[in-house]
Amino acid sequence: MKLYIAEKPSLGRAIAAALPKPHKNNPGFIQLGNGDVVSWCIGHILEQAEPETYDQKYKQWKLEHLPIVPQQWQLKPKSQTRSQLTVLRKLVKQADEIIHAGDPDREGQLLVDEVIDYLKLAKTKKARVKRLLVSDLNTSAVKRSLAALKANRDFIPLSVSALARSRADWLYGINLTRTYTLQGQKVGFKGVLSVGRVQTPVLGLVVRRDEEIANFVSKPFYEVYADIVCANGESFSAKWQPSQECSPYMDEQDRVVVKALAENVVRRISGQPATVTSVVKENKKQSPPLPFNLSALQIEAAKIYSMNAKLVLDICQSLYEKHKLITYPRSDCRYLPEEQHKLAPGIINMLASSSQYGQAAGQANAGLKSKAFNDKKVGAHHAIVPTEKSAANIQLNTFEKNIYQLIVRQYLAQFYPAHSYDQTKVELNIGGGKFTASAKNTVVIGWKVLWPQKSAAKTKAHNPDEAEEAQSQHLPELHQEDVLLCQQGRLAEKMTKPPQAFTDATLLAAMTGINRFVSDKALKKILKDTDGLGTEATRAGIIELLFKRDFLCRQGKQIHATEVGKALIATLPEAATLPDMTAQWEASLNAISEKQVSYQSFMQPLTQTLHQLVEQACQQLPSQLQGLKVKSASGFKKKGRRRRKAPAAKV
C-alpha cells in the first residue's frame, strides 16, 4: 500500500482527485480505488517542546536558569491535532511505500519529515520515501507532478535547514524573552517583552525611521531652470547641473543650499545664447515586470488597495486551496519553469473567454516568451500565476477579485511585446554653465497597455514633485552646436523632506530588500539579490504579531512604533535590533539547504552568542520601561495570575 502524506487536507483531497477511484472518505484519510491511501498533516502537528518538558524547574522564569539549551531536542504533538497524528501512526505502519507531499518549500519539507522521524519509520522504508512537489491544485497539474516523483533523500538538506531555523528561533526567542521580561519586572514593567531574531529587527526598522522623522529639520535648497526658445519658436526647459567648483555651496546630496549662488546663475543666463553641446538619442526597451512572488504581490496590493500583508496571504490561500485559481502562493520566486510555457495557450484562452479579462487576454500572444521563463532561476517553487481553471462560475468576494486580477494582469504581461521608447538627452552651455534636458517618446506601448496611465492631476494630488516628471516634455529636433536662446532663468526654491513613515507596502519592501539596511558591506553584497528579513510565509505574521503585542500601531496608512516598542529597542543591545544578524542566519540556512554549511557549524556559534547576550542583559536594568504599560497582555493570553509562557519558536 502506498501512503501519500500531504501538508494539509486541501492538498490531500487534490492529490486523491488525481488518483484511482472510487474513493472512500475516512476520518483523517482517503482510501483510493487501488488500495492506496492519501492522508495529511494539518500544518505542523508537532511542535518544539516547552522548556519545562526538559526540566520542571523551567516552569518558573528565573534568570539563573538562562540560557536554556536542550541537550536532546524534543518534539511534542500539538493537542488540537493529536488525533490526526494517531491516524498517521497507524497508516505509516501499514504502508509499504510513503510519498512525502509537503508544500514545496523549506517548512513544507520539514513538516512531513519530522512526522516520519517521530513515528520511527524503519530505515529501509525511510530510504525509499518519494517526494511529490505540487504547486497547482488542479487535477491536471497534480497528475503531472505525480508523474515526476523524486527521491525524498535529495531534499534532506532543505529539511535540516528548516530544523536549524526552528531550533535557533526557539533558543533565541525563549531565552531573550525570559531575560528581558524578568529584567523589565525589576523596574515595574508588567508585560511580556518578546524578543525574536526577525520580529525585533523589524521593530527596530520602524523605531529608527520614527526617530529620523522626529529629529528631521527641513532646510531649503535651490534649483535653476532655463526656459529655452528655438529659432522656429519651439520651447523647452533645461536644468542647471552645478560644477565641482560649486561644491562648497552644496550639501552631501549635491543640492545647492546657498540662495545667492542660484540667484547669480539666474541673472547670468537670462537673455543669453544657449549652445547645444551634446545630443544623444537612444531607443530603449523595457521588458514586462516579472510575475509575482508573495512579497511582491503583498507590496502591490498594499499600494493599490491598502490591503495588509496578512490579508493578502489569507486571500491567496483561499484562491489556491478553495478555488484552485492560482498556483502555490507562498513562493519566493518570480520566475517560471520553461515547461510552464506550454500551458500558456490554454490559460490565455480561458482568460479570453472571461468578460473581465477577455480584452487583455485576447491581445496576448502565447507565442511570446518573456525572460520570466527560466529554469535556472526556479528553485523549489515558481512564481504565482493563474491556473487553467476558469473563475467564470465562481463567486469571489471583492478582496479575492482584486488579488486575482493583479495576478492575472502580471501573468498576461509576459505575452505582450516589450515597451519601446526613444530617449533623447541634450546638454547645453549657457554662460559657461551646464544645463540638461531630456524627453521620452513612446514607440511601442507594449505591455504597458495593461497599466492605464494616471492623469497628471491625480499624480500631482498624490505627490507634487512627481507631477513635473509625469508630464514628460517634448524636445524639438536639435543638433550639436545649434545656438538657441535662454529666454529667462527661473529659480525654484524647495525644502528637504523627512523620510516617509513606513506603510504596509514599504515595510514589506524593506523586509524583502533588507540589504539596504545592513551595515556590514560584505554581508550587504551577499544579500543584495538573495535573502530578506523573514520568509515569504512568515513576513505577514511577523508584522501582525508586532501589532498584537502593542509594539506597533497604525495612524491611517502609516505604521509607527508605540512607546513600549521604542523602549524595548532602546533596552536591547544594538546587534539584536539590526537586521545584520538575522540576515546572516538566513544566508547560513540557505547554505545548509545547499550542503555548503553543516548544522553544527551554524548552531554552535549561536549558542555561544546566546550566553553572551543573556549575560549582557543581566548587567543593566531597562530603565526606559519605567512607568510604561501595555494593552492587555501584548498579544499573549492571560490565565488568571499565572505566569505567562514565553512563545516557542517565534521569530
Q: Which amino acid is at 410?
A: Q
Strands 2-6 and 97-101: parallel
Cis preceding-peptide flag for 476 (omega within 30 of 0): no
Q: Which amino acid is at 440?
A: K
- Residue 164 and residue 589 in contact, taking contact as beta carbons nearer than 8 Å: yes
Rounded to whole angstroms, the Cα distance separating 413 from 290 reads 8
What contacts 450, CB < 8 A, 6 or more positions away? Answer: 360, 409, 412, 413, 416
Cis preceding-peptide flag for 67 (omega within 30 of 0): yes
Using alpha carbons, select from 43, 23, 44, 25 the residue that is nearest to residue 34.
Answer: 23
* Alpha-carbon separation of residue 84 from 44, 80, 327, 436 (angstroms): 11, 9, 26, 70
**What grid cell was written down for 530?**
538573495
In the chain the first and final C-alpha atoms are separated, in Å, by 39
Using alpha carbons, select from 83, 117, 86, 84 the residue that is nearest to residue 100.
Answer: 117
**What grid cell was written down for 388?**
487553467
Q: Is 225 a catalytic residue?
A: no
Using alpha carbons, select from 79, 73, 81, 176 the residue that is nearest to residue 117.
Answer: 73
Q: Which amino acid is at 192?
A: V
The residues pairing with 433 across neighbouring beta strands, listed in sequence order, are 430
Rounded to whole angstroms, the Cα distance separating 179 from 174 reads 9
- Residue 19 and residue 38 in contact, taking contact as beta carbons nearer than 8 Å: yes
Rounded to whole angstroms, the Cα distance separating 229 from 231 reads 7
Query: 3-class DSSP state for residue 415?
Result: helix
Phi-psi region of 5 (alpha: psi -120 to 50; beta: other; left: phi over 0): beta
Phi-psi region of 575 (alpha: psi -120 to 50; beta: other; left: phi over 0): alpha
The burial class, CB within 10 Å (0-12 / 13-18 / 19+), for 219 is exposed
Run of H or E including 269? helix 259-269
- Residue 388 and residue 140 in contact, taking contact as beta carbons nearer than 8 Å: yes
How many CB atoms are located within 10 Å of the residue 127 CB?
11
Using alpha carbons, select from 538, 546, 539, 542 the residue that is nearest to residue 508.
Answer: 539
Using alpha carbons, select from 109, 136, 122 the residue that is nearest to residue 41.
Answer: 109
Q: Which of 328, 335, 404, 416 is catalytic?
A: 328
Grid coordinates 534636458 are at which residue?
437
The burial class, CB within 10 Å (0-12 / 13-18 / 19+), for 87 is middle
The burial class, CB within 10 Å (0-12 / 13-18 / 19+), for 526 is middle
Q: Cα angle vertex 451, ends 450, 454, to 5°?
A: 150
Residues serving a catalytic function are 328
